[in-house]
Every structure is written in C-alpha cells, then in structure tokens.
Chain A
Amino acid sequence: MNTPTVEPVAVVTDVAVARPSRIARLRSSLGPAGTAAAIFLIVVLLIAIAAPLIAPYDPDAQSLLSAFAGPSGAHLLGTDDLGRDILSRLVYGSRTSLLGPALVVAVALLVGIPLALIAAWYGGAVDAIVARIFDLVYALPGLLLAVLAVALFGPGLMPAVVALSIAYIPFLARIVRAAARQQRVSPYVDALAVQGFGVTRIMVRHILRNIGPVVLGQAAIAFGYALLDLASLSFLGLAVQAPTADWGVMVSDSNALMQGYWLPVLAPGVLIVLCVLSLTVLGARISGERPQPYLRMRRATRARVGTGAHSSTTPTGATP
C-alpha cells in the first residue's frame, strides 16, 4: 500500500545479459505464490467462460436412480441427492459464483473511485462530508445490509449484489482516497496544475494511474470477500436460488451432508476457499505488500531478542 509504483521485485538472474521477457518479469514480481494464484484464477475464469464445452453433463439433469453415486468413470466427482453430476454443477456454478462478485466490485469501483478522487483532490469540507458518509456506511455490516435488501425485494442475486455493492463502496473508496491524498501533495501534481492541465485529466491520467496497482490489488481482495459474502447469502437461500448451479447453493445441500455424503458439499466449499485464497494472495502482491521487508525485520528481531545482546544489526534494518 505504501509504494504505488510497480517495479519488478529483484529480477534475480545470475547473468543479467538480456532483459527478461514480459512473462518472466510478471512472474518474478508476483512471486511463486502469486504466480500460482494467478494461474489458478485464470483457469477458473476459462472454465467459467467455456462451461458448456467442459461440463460432461447438463448441470440440471436429474436421474434419481443414480443419486449419491460415488466418484466413478462416468461421474468423476459423483452425483448429488437428485443424481445431478457434481463436476458439471461445479463447472456451471463458477459462472454465477464469479459473476456476482464481479458486479459488486465493478459497481463499487465505478462509484467509489470518482468519489474518493474528488474527496482527495478538493479536501476540506468536501473531503469531510464524503469521509463521514463512508464511515457511516462502513459501520454497517454488508451481510446485514444484503439480508435487509432481500427482506425488501425478495430473494435473488440482484438485490444481494446491489446491497453488497453499497457496502463495498467505502471499503474500496477509503483505500483509494488515502492513496490519492498521498499523490495529491507530491510535486508532480503541482507541476501539472501549474502547466494548466485540467483537474480531471490530472486525476485520471496521472493520479489514478500511479495508484493503479493499489486499486487493482485491493479490488482483487474485495472480489474475494464479495465472493465469500455472496456465497454465504446463496447458502442461506437469499441470493442465487436453489435449482441453479452455484457453489454457495451447493454447500447448502444439507440432505447430502446428513446422510454422510460429504463430496457434494465439500467440493464447492473447497473451490470457494481456493478462489478467495488466490484472490487475497494475488491482491496483496499486486498492491505492493511484498515479503522482502518482512524478512529483514524477522532476521533483525531474532538477532536482537532471540539470541541476546551481541547483535550487530542496526536499528535501521528493523523498520521497513
């Protein structure tokens, strides 16, 4: 969050003769965990897009005769209580499970970024009012907001998405505002203003570009948590509705659970966890939380407290 610019982290090659390729630079800046997360997310995204090509069965096709079948050649992950193929439902479920959070983050960014930029640019009363509104909305739990929206408009993906979008606006906007305020006071902004560039141009083409990695990283993290919230709501039967293939809906299949068939319930749960894990790892990497300072700090502190007084590390190494 501190460093808004992305420079590739320590491009370590023994003989740095040629400039590493784009992919290699991306890989090194994401680190092994970030790369793995990115690859996993790309695969999930491709599966969601190409669902009809990949899914071996119709996700809604029931066959009660083969209900609760274990994994087999015909059904790789078995079937659920109505004999529907679990793998196919997982594949199709990725569509609704990813679409909801994508909408939430998109709306939150579209509303939050302009508000945050304006607040950061003008400061003073405008900033105070916007910050106050953010604080107020931030004080309400998104999940409760969504439950209330469902009470109003009936269950469905859209009410839940709208309510969560409102709840996620302050989450993203507060970060954008803080980052933009740092940029606002830097000399290049004054220089541009003096040269007569318009406010909008400076805000969008310069400030927003410089804080881009932070916004992108935090948006990825918000995507993860929106996915969690929407899946929770679908689990409660408030967002995506039952016959539709959706990961949250699949986890709510207590029928299978009570009869000891854990695969229909656990498989979507594991997918949700993996997606959120990848998104948070990737988001943290993109927004610039890199492990390097940590390592320095860890070694320094060990030398100090762990082994006693004979430490030659200087205190400067401790604070990143």
Chain B
Amino acid sequence: MGRLLLNRLGGLITTLLLSSVAIFGSLYLAPGSPEDVLFGTRTPTPAARAAVAHQLHLDRPLPVRYWDWLTGVLHGNLGNSMVTGQTVSSRVGAGLGVTLTLVGISMLFVLLFGLGLGAAAAMRPGAVDAGANALTSVSVTVPPFVASTVLISIFAVHLGWFPSSGIGAGLGGELHGLGLPACALAIMNCGFLARITRNALLEELGKEHVQTAVVRGLPRRIVLRDHVFRNAVPSIATAVALLTSGMFASTLIVETAFAVPGVGQLTISSVAQKDFPVVQAVSLLLVAAFVICNALSDLVQALIDPRLRTAGRTT
C-alpha cells in the first residue's frame, strides 16, 4: 500500500511539474509579449517598455523566471494579475470555493441518479433496463453547454424558478444559484455512471460465487448487498473519481454559461484578457484537480479492495 501510494505520488508530482513547465513556457513563448498587453493600443517608448519589462522581471532569462515563479507558487505567492493588479491567489481563492461547491452539488446529483438508474437497470432486465439504456444513451451525448441552454430556457426564462446568471449572496443564494449549473454539469455524467454501474453490477451478478450464494439459499437482499454491490464498489468508485476529474474541465463551460464566478469562468475571462499570471495559476489548478482525481481513481481501488493492497502497483 505504501509503495503504491509513493508510486502514484511520484507520478502525480512529475505530471504537475511537467505541465507547469509546459504552461509557463508556452505562455511566455507566445506571440505578443506580456508587456504589450499592459500597453494595450498605445505604442510605448523603448525606455518605457524596458522599464515595464524590468519591473515584471521579463528581462531575465526564462529558466530564472520559471524558477522564481515556481518557488513563489510553493510559497503560496502566485503573482499579481496584470489586469486588475490584485494578487492572483485572492482572485483564484474567491472562485475556488464556488467551483468546489458546484462540483460537489453536481456529484451529489450524479451519485443519486447515476447509481439509482444503473442499479435499477441491472436489477430489472427487460422494460426497465431498456428504458434506462435509452435514457443513458441520449444523456451521455448531451454536452454541458446544450444542457445549460435547455435548463436556462425552461427553468430560468419560462418558469423563473432559478436565476439565469450569477449566484445570490449567502449560503442560500449560492445554493439556489448553483442548482441549474450543477444539473447541467450532472446530466452527461449521470448517464456515464449509470452505464458503468449497470455493467459492474451485471458482471458481479454473473459470477459463480453469486450463484453459489443463491443456491445456498441466502436471501436475495443479502446476496445483493454482500456479494454483488460490495464487489462492484471498486470499479464504481474508480469511475466516480474519473468523472469528477472530467467535471473540473467542464466547469469552464458551465460557469461561463451561467456566469458563475468560479475558477472556470475566471480561466475563460483571463484568457480573453490575456492575463497571463491568472491563466497560469488557474490552468495549473485545473490540471492539478484533474490529475489528482485521476490518481485517486487508481488509489481508491487499492483502498477499498484489500486484494490489490499487496500488489504494489495496479498497472
């Protein structure tokens, strides 16, 4: 178990480091240097340009700047926004809570409906299964942005139950405002989880030990709980971790569609404004969320399934 953990942690740090190099490097090699963004449409004198470049440390070699930035990041200093002048950490921090709440609520929906639908489909072959199959086939192809527009059209514009953009103040307002975005984020993932749950349960149902348990005369309830569900948990947990990582990427779309002030919207708006320090920080954050969830999907199996613990590696 310890070795597996170390192994995954090593992979995690390597991925994060490499992507930080890629993100930092690519943004500064981009056409249009960062100081041009500050000057906007004005054409600066060479002296003014040099002064700004010096102030932003842009006159130093790239590896030095990367090192400064990296040590800054490790000390919690992400630099300052080039557009608003605020510290990047305060801008990102403000959005992080909202995004985490959004993903949390959405995951709750996914677990509730995805697991429910998948279990129903596996337990009731025939009409229920066929219906669930049709439902999930469609729902896995409904992208968050289409779901957003449909939900806004119905629940915000026509019924007026939820706000179409932004979130209210306080916990109540925040939850009310995040209801529709969370749904939009959940629809596709519900379909995926339902399918995975159904297939995992059916696979377990087909195992010989389940048949043995039934033949021994164990009540159906106990067979399902101890022999079927218990064994299906690892693959379902893996899927949940993977889906969560995908959700962080999808927040880019949903938060923009609903004007939710989270990290996703911050990413898109700072890309539009070419606010490089913010883009760096948020994209690294999203990559981190994505990569951590992926690593969790590996670890969670070992945590849940004692048979994998001694194996050391899962690949």
Contacts and interface: CB of A to CB of B under 8 A. Distances in A.
Interface of A: 136, 139-144, 147-148, 150-153, 224, 228, 231-232, 235-238, 248, 251-252, 257-260, 262, 265-266, 269, 272-273, 276-277, 280-281, 297-302, 304-306, 308-309, 311, 315, 318-319
A224 B102 CA distance: 27
A304 B210 contact: yes
Interface string B16-37: 0011000100110011000000
24 contacts: A136-B15, A139-B287, A141-B245, A144-B290, A147-B268, A147-B271, A148-B23, A148-B26, A148-B271, A151-B279, A152-B30, A153-B31, A224-B141, A232-B144, A235-B257, A236-B252, A237-B272, A260-B157, A262-B153, A277-B137, A277-B138, A298-B202, A315-B206, A315-B208
Nearest to B248: A141
A319 B250 CA distance: 36
Contacts of B150: 266, 269
A140 B249 CA distance: 9
A231 B143 contact: yes
Interface of B, helix, strand, loop or mixed by DSSP: helix
Contacts of B252: 143-144, 147, 236
A151 B145 contact: no
A309 B290 contact: no
Contact of B30 (A153, A272, A306, A319): A153
A260 B153 CA distance: 7
Nearest to B223: A305
A304 B253 contact: no
Nearest to A150: B271
Nearest to A263: B153
B80 interface: no
B246 interface: yes
Given A141-B290, A251-B146, A304 B214 contact: yes
A140, A224, A259, A299 interface centre (most CB from chain B within 10 Å)? A140
Contact of B125 (A258, A272, A273, A302): A302
B206 A300 contact: yes
Interface string B258-302: 000000000110011010100100010011001100100000000
B75 interface: no
A151 B103 CA distance: 25
Interface string B205-220: 1111011001101001
A235 B268 contact: no
Contacts of B144: 232
A258 B206 contact: no
Contact of B143 (A228, A301, A305): A228
A152 B286 contact: no
A259 B215 CA distance: 62
A309 B271 contact: no
10 closest pairs, A vs B, by CB? A318-B206, A141-B249, A269-B146, A276-B141, A301-B205, A152-B30, A151-B271, A298-B125, A235-B145, A262-B153
Interface string B130-174: 000000011011111110011011000110000010000000000
Nearest to B125: A298
A224 B27 CA distance: 30
Interface residues of B, number: 62
Nearest to A275: B141
Interface of A, helix, strand, loop or mixed by DSSP: helix
A293 B245 CA distance: 31
B30 A140 contact: no
B18 A277 contact: no
A258 B164 contact: yes
A157 B205 CA distance: 47
Contacts of A228: 141, 143
Contacts of B142: 273
Interface string B95-133: 000000000000000000000000000000100010000
Contacts of A252: 145
A236 B264 CA distance: 11
B153 A265 contact: yes
B244 interface: no
Contacts of A141: 245-246, 248-249, 286-287, 290
Interface in B215-247: 215, 217, 220, 223-224, 228, 245-246
A311 B30 CA distance: 67
B256 interface: yes
A139 B137 contact: no
Contacts of B253: 143, 232, 235-236
B193 to A, nearest CB: 16
Contacts of A152: 26-27, 30-31
B18 A136 contact: yes
Nearest to B273: A151
A199 to B, nearest CB: 27
B205 to A, nearest CB: 4
B15, B141, B252, B267 interface centre (most CB from chain A within 10 Å)? B141
Nearest to A279: B141
Contacts of B15: 136, 139
Contacts of B158: 260
B137, B142, B145 interface centre (most CB from chain A within 10 Å)? B145
Given A140-B287, A148-B283, A272 B267 contact: no
A130 B303 CA distance: 29
B53 to A, nearest CB: 19
Contacts of A147: 252, 267-268, 271, 283
Contacts of A272: 143, 146
Contacts of B287: 139-141, 144
Given A141-B249, A152-B27, A272-B143, A281 B217 contact: no
